Structure 1
Amino acid sequence: MTGVFCLGIATLDYVYKVETMPTRGEKYRSRDLAVVGGGCASNAAVAITRLGGRCWLATRLGDDLAGDQIVADLAGEGVETRFARRLPGLRSPVSAILVDAAGERMVISYSDPAMPEETGWLPSALPDGAGAVLADTRWGEGALAALRLAREAGVPGVLDGDRKPPHPDLVGTASHVAFSAQALRELSGEEDPRTGLARVARDMPTWLAVTLGKEGALFVENGELVHAPAFAVETVDTLGAGDVWHGAFALGLAEGQGERAAIRFASAAAAIKCTRFGGRAGAPHRAEIEAFLAGRG
């Protein structure tokens, strides 16, 4: 079974469904509530296992009840958690998330500032069967270590650039980087994603892309910018859609799909997720994607 070694943040999310986003300091009523695991790398890991891949997640957690629930949820999804480090006296990441009637979200997150940055406990080589690495930007030193393992193993090393990379070597060490629009804007200094992607791509051997939600994705191919449109769906909840996209994209590369095919695969996974409330609880299974794509030629 093809696998992906993931590294990054894992959280416990409290997801509230509201009609509109609060604008004043008063009481509001939620129409639904989902308590579900979250976090960029963690969501991607679950997406990978649901799509039929094997996944190992390296993450830092407190030795607390939230951490217990995070690990149990991941294990229940088939994610291998032996690289989830539990640290006594620290608190695991948690988030409160509001999702409005249009499917847009507002996230309030907490990560313990005392969480150590050191990477000595990470494996010295990728687990057998890992055909790619996926890292998020929440732990720069850890992401750099994981992407170096990918280079040493000769497999794709994907960076989920949902925030401006915290380490200057991250983009150059990855083989593939897919930015969020905000991260690309912060890194390039350009408002327009086309201009920003072209600027970052200058003299950069890394394969680069930017995900743009319902507008699809832009990527660089043979020095040219290419637009990959998103699939049109009725959006219920965008929470976790980008993470699902990255997980599916990394798995596609691990399976030997080319970048264009992996983008299409990932875009289908993210589109299906957007039709469901509850963050990563809406991540699809492989058969759903195959049926979705078959219906669209």
Structure 2
Amino acid sequence: MTTPHTKRIVCAGITTLDIIYGLDEIPTVPLKFRSTRMVTSGGGLAGNAATACARLGASVALIARLGDDPFAGMMIEELERDGVDCALVRRCPGHRSPVSAVVIDRRGERLVVSYSDPDIPADTGWIDARVLAGADATYAETRWIEAAMALLPLARAAGLPSVLDADRKPTRPEVLELASHVGFSAPALRDLTGIDDLATALAHASEKAANVYLVTDGERGAWYMDGRSVMHVPAFPVTAVDTLGAGDTWHGALAVALAEGQPLDRAVRFANAAAALKCTAFGGRKGMPDRASVDALLAGRG
């Protein structure tokens, strides 16, 4: 039997290369700007979530698609340095890997310009029950919707908790029914329901849902459904330096907590702590915390 720090998570979705620039303000006019700092880092929802899981002590496998360009090698090398198993990352000949240019202002807010090859194969015929060997939980997202549609039913059949990162309104709404836990971004939930108040929107969206719905809203914390009741878990107050990847960190941490069997209220607080700490360092993924830092914050020592 595994210990809480060796749970295995299988993540599926997009991984990117982020070129991150620091500026005082996010540009609003077409001029030349000089960055105060620059970092190259892996990014993308699933790539970030996998890294967050690994830094929190889990054993992680990533299912993703990349091109056959030099960027793919850079991304895989970084993921493997963090302990992410990339055996299930496919490199597609003749295609380009996802790349993003990111601007971070002095308040930690970000502007992202991303590119994904629209013709990269979406086939998921190679995602079958074997990818879940030894798994304790799964993670998927809406940027590679076909992978989510393939992986989440396998997790359900295996009786595993699963997290769907719904950072945008899904193109195939039926995916929301497949995960045990669906974590919305605030914009995605508002887009889905047409309701501005997040607690009300969450209750409305989950009226007929058999699974657990949650929503994150940055420094305002997170809400989740406990039966028919909407529960709120405040964010940990930090000075935000860089919010890039905070939501991905939150969803990865939630998957780790669920794999460990943490009660939902504790799992959301655990995810809030990981996301808060990520925001305290510049460089996107580079700011993701380790387990000791999260445990210290939860214990009041951080």
TM-score of the aligned structures, taking structure 2 as reference length: 0.96
Change (3 A) 1:272 1:182: same
**Which residue of 176, 179, 182 corresponds with 1:177?**
182
CA distance in 1: counterparts of 2:83 and 2:301, whole angstroms: 30
Pick one of 149, 154, 161 that aligns with 1:149: 154
| Mapped pair 1:73 → 2:78 | yes
- Deviating more after overlay: 143-152 vs 100-109: 143-152
1:90 aligns with 2:110: no
Give yes or no for the alignment of 1:50 onto 2:50: no
Contact preservation (8 Å) 1:126, 1:150: no
Partner SS for 1:130: coil
Q: CA deviation at 1:188?
A: 1.0
* Matched-pair contact (CA < 8 Å) for 1:125–1:149: no
Q: Which residue of 2 aligns with 1:168?
A: 173
Where does the alignment leave 5 or more consecutive residues of structure 2 unmatched?
Answer: 1-5
Q: Distance in 1 between matches of 2:268 and 2:301?
A: 15
Q: How many percent of aligned residue pairs carry the same amino acid?
A: 51
C-alpha contact (below 8 Å) 1:219/1:225 kept by paired residues:
yes
Number of matched residues?
297
1:115 offset after TM fit, Å? Answer: 1.3
Deviation at 1:296, TM superposition (A): 6.1
Correspondent of 1:119 among 119, 124, 148: 124
Corresponding residue number in structure 1 for 2:268: 263
CA distance in 2, matches of 1:140, 1:48: 21
- Identify the match of residue 256 of structure 2 among 232, 236, 251: 251
1:144 shift after superposition: 1.1
TM-score when normalising by structure 1: 0.98
Contact 1:16-1:34 within 8 A present in 2 as well: yes
For 1:175-202, what per-residue CA distance to the aligned partner results, in whole angstroms no more than 9, with x for missing partners? Answer: 1001001111111122221221111111
1:43 match: secondary structure: helix
Aligned to 2:239: 234
In structure 1, the partner of 2:12 is 7
- 1:125: how far off? 3.2
Distance 2:27 2:175 in 1: 37
Runs of 4+ in structure 1 displaced over 2 angstroms? 123-129
**Contact 2:221 2:235 (C-alpha < 8 Å) held by counterparts:** yes
Give the alignment's Cα RMSD to 1 decimal: 1.1
Contact 1:102 1:236 in 2 (8 A): yes
Pairwise CA distance, 1:54: 0.5
Question: Residue 288 of structure 2 is aligned with which of 283, 286, 290?
Answer: 283
Query: Structure 2: how far apart are the matches of 1:141 and 1:127?
Result: 17
Match of 1:187 in 2: 192
Is it true that 1:200 corresponds to 2:200 in the alignment?
no
